[in-house]
A and B are shown apart, each in its own frame.
Chain A
Amino acid sequence: MAAELRRTPFHAFHRDRGGRLVPFAGWEMPVQFPGGVIHEHLLVRRAAGMFDVAHMGRFFLRGPGALAYANRLITNNLEKLAPGQLLYSALCHEQGGMIDDLTVYRLDEGALIVANAANAAKVSDWIAAHKPAGVEFEDATERLAQIALQGPRAEAVLRSPLADAVREVGYYRYTRLRWEGEELLISRNGYTGEDGFEIYVPAAAAPGLWERLLEWGAAEGVEPIGLGARDSLRMEVNYALYGNELGPDITPLEAGLRWVVKMKDHDFIGREALQRRQEAGLTRALVGFEVEGKRLPRHGHPILAGGREAGVVTSGGYCPSLDRGMGMGFVTPDLQEVGTAIEIDARGARLAARVVERPFYKQGSVRRA
């Protein structure tokens, strides 16, 4: 018998709004609301939307040595950050393949590590297994909830005291504040290509904050957004997804994450393997492509070149803001130049496609400073 699905503090709101609830990584989550994925996608591009991301894993490392330990786990370099900053990183095993991709916050007391829901147990086990004595580990997935507010109007939605607190907070930075007696942590980052925030709130206060944000956002048309649009939004700006572009047999070097692998002056698990891989040269490259016609490429479709199999689609589908089918996939390195003609084998139908620049969608409101 299947295990009971976990529920976030926002579950009742999703049900009341007609959210289509589906099992996702052990949680029951809304894939979409009655407006549909395209509507939700375009709403986030135009105004703002709210995402229940409480299913993600939230882990604290505290105490002396916590920061150094967190840094030994991840490929990016946490010690270059000041408190108040966060970064995106790969988490690799000794062979250089990825256990997960993470957001890591540098805290005064250590680090907050945010993992994908599907990998949370694996990440938690990994952290616990390598942890030196003296570093305190807390799985705060239940104690805290997490809301993503994303879109060009995200900041305009916030009211005092949140609005004042975030005004000076730059991209990939965070602040902590009190709201109705509760401590919140708010960072400016996200998974949509738009400006916006990730908000961490004690679970007991989370439903109240959710309602308040919806109320504040009413004038901007803010609605809750399901996992369907979360996926299409990230694909349109070419953010990688674990299980698609990322996996245990894929190194961050191949997956377009070279920029978060800091091998100089930074020792971490998997470094030697990644160095060797880098020196040996990569055997595949991640590309973005657009297809001709209206048939859509999908995850798992073979990529062909010159009639031969040359790769595989990792993510594919309809991009609502661009009104066309696009995708990402791994190909042999000779096919990675922009403009290269490839074909997608969509269940027997050959779709003509060509490699294009990334990100697909370039008009996002995300702040890069």
Chain B
Amino acid sequence: MEVRDGLRYSRDHEWVRVEGGEAVIGITDYAQEQLSDIVYVELPAAGGALRQGEPFGSVEAVKAVADLYAPLSGEVRAVNEALADDPALVNRSAFDDGWMVRLAVGDAGELDRLLSPADYRKLLSELEGAAE
């Protein structure tokens, strides 16, 4: 299971890649593996506003539905249109082709509340330990 360096992570298993004043958001490899078989991703329209910690969409998998929680606040600049036709992109490429939204970052200070790759790895090992 991949935890990619250079990204920030939420405790709800979203990742954030900061690119200048924008942030790209998706769900982690762990999240897609737990959900498996994703059949629909519901995303907000471009122009919509996200608030950190609040739901902004959902992922329907064969087994379950999961809410998406905004790891950062900001205005949606773009959504990944490819997911409409091929939601399983999130399963195949959670950190790349399976990205979900691109935001104009509202408050860069919010990044401090997110986890580093090392801390996210630690969270996952705790979750795995709890599952044993």
Please tell me if the beta carbons of A318 and B60 are within 8 angstroms of each other in the complex: yes
CB-CB < 8 A to B58: which residues of A? Answer: 295
Provide the bound-state CA to CA distance between A31 and B33, in Å. 13
- Give, as a whole number of angstroms, the nearest-CB distance from B44 to chain A: 14
Question: Any chain B CB within 8 A of the CB of A32?
Answer: yes
- Give, as a whole number of angstroms, the nearest-CB distance from B121 to chain A: 21
- Give, as a whole number of angstroms, the nearest-CB distance from A241 to chain B: 15
Please tell me if the beta carbons of A296 and B37 are within 8 angstroms of each other in the complex: no
Question: Any chain B CB within 8 A of the CB of A38?
Answer: yes
Please tell me if the beta carbons of A298 and B62 are within 8 angstroms of each other in the complex: no
Please tell me if the beta carbons of A295 and B60 are within 8 angstroms of each other in the complex: yes
Please tell me if the beta carbons of A38 and B62 are within 8 angstroms of each other in the complex: yes
Chain A interface residue bracket vs B: 10 to 19
Q: Name B33's closest neighbour in chain A (CB-CB).
A: A20
Question: Any chain A CB within 8 A of the CB of B39?
Answer: yes
Please tell me if the beta carbons of A294 and B60 are within 8 angstroms of each other in the complex: yes
Question: Any chain B CB within 8 A of the CB of A77?
Answer: no
Please tell me if the beta carbons of A38 and B37 are within 8 angstroms of each other in the complex: yes
Contact indicator per residue, chain A 298-323, by CB within 8 Å of chain B (1) or not (0): 10000000000000000001101000
Please tell me if the beta carbons of B42 and A318 are within 8 angstroms of each other in the complex: no
Please tell me if the beta carbons of B40 and A317 are within 8 angstroms of each other in the complex: no
Please tell me if the beta carbons of A296 and B40 are within 8 angstroms of each other in the complex: yes
Which positions 56-95 of chain B face chain A at CB distance < 8 Å?
A: 58, 60, 62-63, 65, 91
User: Would A32 and B40 be within 8 Å (CB), given that A317-B62, A318-B62 are in contact?
Assistant: no
User: Would A295 and B40 be within 8 Å (CB), given that A37-B62, A317-B62 are in contact?
Assistant: yes
Provide the bound-state CA to CA distance between A211 and B63, in Å. 28
Please tell me if the beta carbons of A298 and B65 are within 8 angstroms of each other in the complex: yes
CB-CB < 8 A to A37: which residues of B? Answer: 36-37, 62-63
Question: Any chain B CB within 8 A of the CB of A89?
Answer: no
Contact indicator per residue, chain B 28-55, by CB within 8 Å of chain A (1) or not (0): 0000000011011010000000000000
Interface positions of B (Cβ within 8 A of A): 36-37, 39-40, 42, 58, 60, 62-63, 65, 91
Give 11 A-B contacts (CB < 8 Å), ordered by A residue.
A31-B63, A36-B37, A36-B62, A37-B63, A38-B37, A294-B39, A295-B42, A295-B58, A296-B65, A318-B37, A318-B39
